[in-house]
Amino acid sequence: MVFSSNRMPRFRTKGKLERDAVADFWKNTVAQIPTLTGRLVYLSSLRDPNSGTYRHHGMAAVFGRQESVRALRESHERVFREWLLLPLSSKDNDLRSYLSSLDEPPNEIVSHWIRSGRGRPWIPATARPAEIELFCTDLEALLRTLKGGLVNEPSGPGSSRPG
């Protein structure tokens, strides 16, 4: 078998890539995360805490660094604004669903988040002051309500650990 020197072997991905980085990222990653809170946590984890630059090796390899950063930033902004638009009761349900998917006891997580101000890193850099205030106010109210309600609940489904 002879290979022409001007032909480079190309790799094939398992699934079909979208032409647009944002569409591909949503289809193959973001849409797989069942809660908005989970999406916020994930997307904010892709932002470097020192520089604020978003990083995702796989996306950068496929779409290039600049396009990857744009897609991640836009996705984070979109999920953040979707969360803001939810009624408080839906935010509560979403947060409870996210907490129930984690390995640690929800009461420990909520207590840690309250102490550490954990929700702050979930806010995109482009958020307006009114959005930041709404997010922080709602999240703090939800966490304080959850903390009060979780005191007497078991640590998790079928858990034998003390709450």
What is the reported pLDDT for 140?
Answer: 93
Q: Does the pLDDT of residue 161 top 60, yes or no?
A: no
Band of residue 16 on the pLDDT scale cut at 50, 70, 90: low
Q: Are 54 and 66 in contact (CB under 8 A)?
A: no
Give pLDDT tens digits for 121-136. Answer: 999 999 999 999 999 9
Q: Are 18 and 27 in contact (CB under 8 A)?
A: yes
Tokens of 5: 């020197």
Q: Which residues have a Cβ under 8 Å from the Cβ of 99 and sit 6 or more positions away?
A: 106, 109, 110, 146
Helix (H, G, I), strand (E, B) or coil at 50: coil
Phi first, then psi, for residue 96 (nearest 5°) are -60, -40
Whole-number Cα distances in Å, 54 to 40, 42, 60, 105, 138 = 13, 11, 10, 30, 26
Q: Count Cβ atoms within 10 A of the Cβ of residue 108 and give its class: 0-12 exposed, 13-18 middle, 19 or more buried.
A: middle
Helix (H, G, I), strand (E, B) or coil at 51: coil
The mean pLDDT value for 87-93 works out to 97
Which string of DSSP letters, residue by residue, matches 58-72?
A: HHHHHH-HHHHHHHH
